[in-house]
Structure 1
Amino acid sequence: MSTTEATAATNPEMAALKQRLKATWESGDYGAFAIYLERGAVDFLERIGIEPDTRMLDVACGAGQISVPAARAGAKVTGVDIATNLVEQAQSWARNEGVDARFEVGDAEALPYDDASFDLVTSLLGAMFAPQPDAVAAELLRVCRPGGRIVMGNWTPEGFVGGMFKIIGRHAPPSPLMAPPVKWGDEATVRQRLGEGAELTLTRRHYPFEYPFGPAEVVDLFRDYYGPAQKAFAALDEAGQAALHAELTQHWKAHNQAADGGTYCESEYLEVVARRAG
């Protein structure tokens, strides 16, 4: 039994939280939602520089946004995610693309793989949402071989998405057991979590959000398809839902750079490249 599994077994509140998080990510339809995130995912993957036959693990892989393209580029890809339906979507996409990638249901805090199993461990806007970040950091380091790389993309507290999470949190506060996900976008925190086991390169970048409809409709998209937003709205009464929708819409309007009736915003994220110590 891993340390995380042992903690969950002895802490029923944490075990219950993890079940709620699994249900959250299985709600909505992240595959449909992530269509609009494709451009940023491609940019992230291109900077990694995938070599053929690289043993790659994509943690919190979602519907395969970077896993499937990496497999297409010749990597030997394994994707793992807590949400069963997203794993099924990734498997279906890989079959349709005719690429050799395997996808499994699993927990970023207790990865079901041997030590030093992978040359490259990635997580784009995924592992940052696990509730126990120290356990995540330990697992990312454990499964990466000495000399291998861990590459993450994590929303920053100061960025556009960080601001959106603050708004949602004011209306529907998260569990006190949940470590703030955006701390993975704080450089000092990342150095504390990964710095002793890896050489770090931290770069602030911008992720594009582009939609062919206005800010209010973007908020509708989040409410209908993005699990955390869907659950936040569901926790509120009618008046609370209206207030949350109005504040989120104003947030998108204030940052919208589009002039054609659509929506274009950029959100800062921290690109983490950690070279595993030998």
Structure 2
Amino acid sequence: MNAPANPNKALWEKGDFTRIAASMRESGEALVKAIGIAPGQYVLDLGCGDGTTALPAAKLGANVLGVDIARNLVEAGNKRAKDAGLANLSFQEGDASNLAGIENKTFDQVVSIFGAMFAPKPFDVAKEMVRVTKPGGKITMGNWIPGDPTLVAQVLKISSAYSPPPPEGFISPMTWGVEQNVAERFGAAGVSSKDISCVKDTYTFRFDGTPVDLVDTFRRYYGPTMNAFDAAAKNGKEEDLRRELEALFNAKNESTTAGKTVIPATFLRVTVQVR
């Protein structure tokens, strides 16, 4: 499947999100178990990265297709699947706003954890997710919440303050963390409000290093933070951004072990039943 032009492609190929994803594996496995992935199910993981949720879903016996906008992450995911000996897992490039080449009513479960929320055209994202889900199937999204005091929402908020204003017509990915927007977007795709539920959940980053080391990992490998540092450097504010992020990561770290980082982050878990 050839990915249509998408401004996010350069963003997510710029860094190496696998370095961030390494701190997310444990919560990814727990979430997959919580949403009821079962052997023999057909599962689509949108904005899958290198397989933080796709890999454990396949290990549970589901037939999993991971789709991501970034070629480097698709390649990394296919390597992880091969190394794990998972013939029931594959990755390909694609845009969650336009799942060209994927037939209607194909999947028992469609999952997107901090993935499809970043795709442009959110109404198209909702429409496509519903389109490819079988009647009786389920969609699960994990979306960061705007204004939330926990880690990722604050990282994105701080980063945006140092970045140029977005282009005209840009819709913030954080709008997916607002229940009213979720209901409106899936409603436009034909889903009744009674079939949409939203609950707050927690995703924990576990990093083998200090909070300052984790900031450095975000700085070097996480596209939005990389762009923020590039913009800040042009304005002579690079050190201001670094200090602000280090203060945030240190404040949120709950690890009781020196040299380790454990940071919980709140997100909105969206469940959509498709009729």
Matched-pair contact (CA < 8 Å) for 1:81–1:106? yes
* CA distance 1:72–1:258, change in 2 (3 Å): closer
Report the equivalent of 1:197.
Answer: 191
Matches within 5 A, 1:102-113: 102-112=90-100, 113=102
- Counterpart of 1:36 in 2: which secondary structure? coil
* CA distance 1:191–1:159, change in 2 (3 Å): farther
Structure with the larger helix share: 1
Q: Counterparts of 2:84 and 2:254 in 1: how far apart (Å)?
A: 34
Matched-pair contact (CA < 8 Å) for 1:153–1:270? yes
- CA shift digits 1:78-123 (9 cap, x unpaired): 1111000100111111111111212111101000211111111000
TM-score by structure 1 length?
0.89
**Greater Cα shift, 201-210 or 174-183:** 174-183
Matched-pair contact (CA < 8 Å) for 1:208–1:267? yes
Q: Counterparts of 1:143 and 1:178 in 2: how far apart (Å)?
A: 26
Report the equivalent of 2:216.
Answer: 220
Q: Counterparts of 1:123 and 1:242 in 2: how far apart (Å)?
A: 34
Report the equivalent of 1:11.
Answer: none
Report the equivalent of 1:185.
Answer: 177
Identity of aligned residues (%): 38
Matches within 5 A, 1:30-49: 30-49=17-36
- CA shift digits 1:26-70 (9 cap, x unpaired): 122111221111111111111111111111111111001111221
Residue type of the alignment partner of 2:137 = G
Matched-pair contact (CA < 8 Å) for 2:211–2:246? yes
Report the equivalent of 2:109.
Answer: 120
- Counterpart of 2:23 in 1: which secondary structure? helix
- Counterpart of 2:153 in 1: which secondary structure? helix
Shift, 1:143, TM fit? 0.8
Report the equivalent of 2:265.
Answer: 267
Shift, 1:273, TM fit? 0.9
Matched-pair contact (CA < 8 Å) for 2:159–2:224? no
Say if 2:27 is the partner of 1:27: no
Report the equivalent of 1:255.
Answer: 252
**Greater Cα shift, 257-266 or 80-89:** 257-266
Q: Counterparts of 1:24 and 1:35 in 2: how far apart (Å)?
A: 19
Report the equivalent of 1:10.
Answer: none
Matched-pair contact (CA < 8 Å) for 1:223–1:229? yes
Residue type of the alignment partner of 1:31 = T
Residue type of the alignment partner of 1:129 = F
Unaligned runs of 5+ residues in structure 1 are 6-14
**Greater Cα shift, 223-232 or 114-123:** 223-232
Matches within 5 A, 1:4-83: 18-19=6-7, 21-83=8-70
* CA distance 1:140–1:159, change in 2 (3 Å): farther
Matched-pair contact (CA < 8 Å) for 1:132–1:178? no
* CA distance 1:159–1:268, change in 2 (3 Å): farther
Residue type of the alignment partner of 1:122 = V
Say if 2:232 is the partner of 1:232: no
Q: Counterparts of 2:131 and 2:164 in 1: how far apart (Å)?
A: 33
TM-score by structure 2 length?
0.89
Shift, 1:159, TM fit? 4.2
- The number of aligned residues is 262
Unaligned runs of 5+ residues in structure 2 are none
Matches within 5 A, 1:126-165: 126-157=115-146, 158-160=148-150, 161-165=152-156
- CA shift digits 1:112-135 (9 cap, x unpaired): 211111111000111111122111
